[in-house]
Structure 1
């Protein structure tokens, strides 16, 4: 098993270092700006009749779609970062998922703009405005609760493990992260192919969140092999439940998605406080 752990670490660590490197982050940021500008130009060209034919049938004619597309790319980048945080603690991984939830709510708010005519008008779009307010303030509240969540995490007591067990546990999580990264790439390419072909399909990011829930349960079961205590099992299972509530929030209609997202964040905070204050010295 040690040979397998070493091979997994040998593959994962360089990929993680490459993704988190400052130069790559800067290049991605520049490419994101170019993507947004090119999206606007493509939409304008479609409106002027310059882009025609079945190849460009997927290009919309509303400029506000470019905002939604840019936020979708940002969301994809954050999901990849989430995959690389899986080998970290459960609490850090859950925190990253709340970061993604707040971005999804913001993206939903901007997606509502695509239903507005150009130029913007309020009349006839009152319901869309209410959804924008709901998702926007919901994202802000989740963002604020995320700050509280990270604040209480600094006071949470981590249970010590033997160095050999810790190495094996982290290596196992790295193997799961690599598998998850492959699944994400496959789902993303499948969604892109369907979009270019003009076929209807569901948001693959929401589908991937279902995979994340199953992954969280798998990590809980694996962690029980190394941390069999009731404290660790309950705490890790509780964090998995909070991610399940997040997944339900993503599938919920407007207004309910915000309430469920806030409930998941509050649950995670209370779980952290209870486990660290009442059982931290157990």
Structure 2
């Protein structure tokens, strides 16, 4: 068992090495800039009737929508970082999940701003209301994530014994397996969405949910698997409840993709609030044990 874990440990170090992370960071930067420029060119090409789209392309109606593309590319990089951070701790991984969902909200705002109608009552137009919900949600999320990360830094660093080292190795194995699964899922999701927009008889899926429904579903399964692995390495009630609570946070985020409007934002915010409460209770229990 230890030898097998050692293999995954070495594989993780090779795939997610610091040099590879820097390369991917540079590629992300250049792809973001290129994507932004290409999106702008497509918008103005459509505006001046240089190209025709055989489907409704709302993201090609306004130059502001061009910001949507670089944010989508940055989100892919953030997901890569989540896989890198997964072996570190449950708390670090769930913090990265919160950051990802906040970036998804910001990206959605840039996609929805061109659809705002300033000539009607704001509270009677669904798209205007959605913008209000999203902007309010982003501010609240930003503050809650700040509180979560602040409290996360207060957690005492523990000495890595043999059992904890094996647990980290097990989580590295999960990260290595998760990477190709998410890559294939992303390609499949993009393929299905592309097929749908060219199918005049079918409904076009919401572009904001493309891939992320499947991503958070896979993430829930990975979190549950890591949770089960943790039973082998710790029997402390506080840690098990904390880890289980963080899995519930991921489930709440996944549920938000099945809703729209205010319920969507409330589910996302409730996920972060729940995670923050779990973290505070865990810290209080750990402090009592030390005292």
Structure 1 residues 192, 114: closer, same or farther in 2, change over 3 A? farther
Is contact 2:239–2:282 with CA below 8 Å preserved after alignment? no
The aligned residue for residue 146 of structure 1 is 145
The aligned residue for residue 170 of structure 2 is 172
Aligned counterparts, 1:187-206, within 5 A: 187-197=185-195, 198=198, 200-201=204-205, 203-206=210-213
Is contact 2:32–2:71 with CA below 8 Å preserved after alignment? no
The Cα of 1:124 is off from its aligned counterpart by: 4.5
Mapped to 1, the partners of 2:132 and 2:53 lie a distance apart of 38
TM-score (norm 2): 0.84
The Cα of 1:218 is off from its aligned counterpart by: 1.1
Aligned counterparts, 1:104-253, within 5 A: 104-116=104-116, 121-124=117-120, 126=122, 127=125, 128-157=127-156, 162=161, 164-197=162-195, 198=198, 200-201=204-205, 203-253=210-260
Is contact 1:46–1:60 with CA below 8 Å preserved after alignment? no
Mapped to 2, the partners of 1:239 and 1:33 lie a distance apart of 35
Mapped to 2, the partners of 1:51 and 1:59 lie a distance apart of 15
Mapped to 1, the partners of 2:179 and 2:35 lie a distance apart of 23
Mapped to 1, the partners of 2:121 and 2:188 lie a distance apart of 34
Mapped to 2, the partners of 1:99 and 1:72 lie a distance apart of 14
The aligned residue for residue 48 of structure 2 is 48
Is contact 1:58–1:195 with CA below 8 Å preserved after alignment? no
The Cα of 1:160 is off from its aligned counterpart by: 5.1
Structure 1 residues 59, 178: closer, same or farther in 2, change over 3 A? farther
Deviation per CA, 1:110-133, whole angstroms, max 9, x where unpaired? 2213535xxxx5124833222112
Alignment pair present for 1:263 and 2:261: no
Report the aligned-residue RMSD: 2.5
Deviation per CA, 1:131-163, whole angstroms, max 9, x where unpaired? 11211121121111111111111222466552x
**1:251 counterpart SS class:** coil
**2:16 counterpart SS class:** helix
Alignment pair present for 1:66 and 2:62: no
TM-score (norm 1): 0.87
Mapped to 1, the partners of 2:180 and 2:2 lie a distance apart of 23
Number of equivalences: 275
Structure 1 residues 245, 19: closer, same or farther in 2, change over 3 A? farther
The aligned residue for residue 88 of structure 1 is 88
- Residue 275 of structure 1, aligned match among 254, 279, 282: 282
Structure 1 residues 111, 8: closer, same or farther in 2, change over 3 A? same
Q: Which of 10-19 and 132-141 deviates more? A: 10-19
Mapped to 2, the partners of 1:250 and 1:76 lie a distance apart of 18
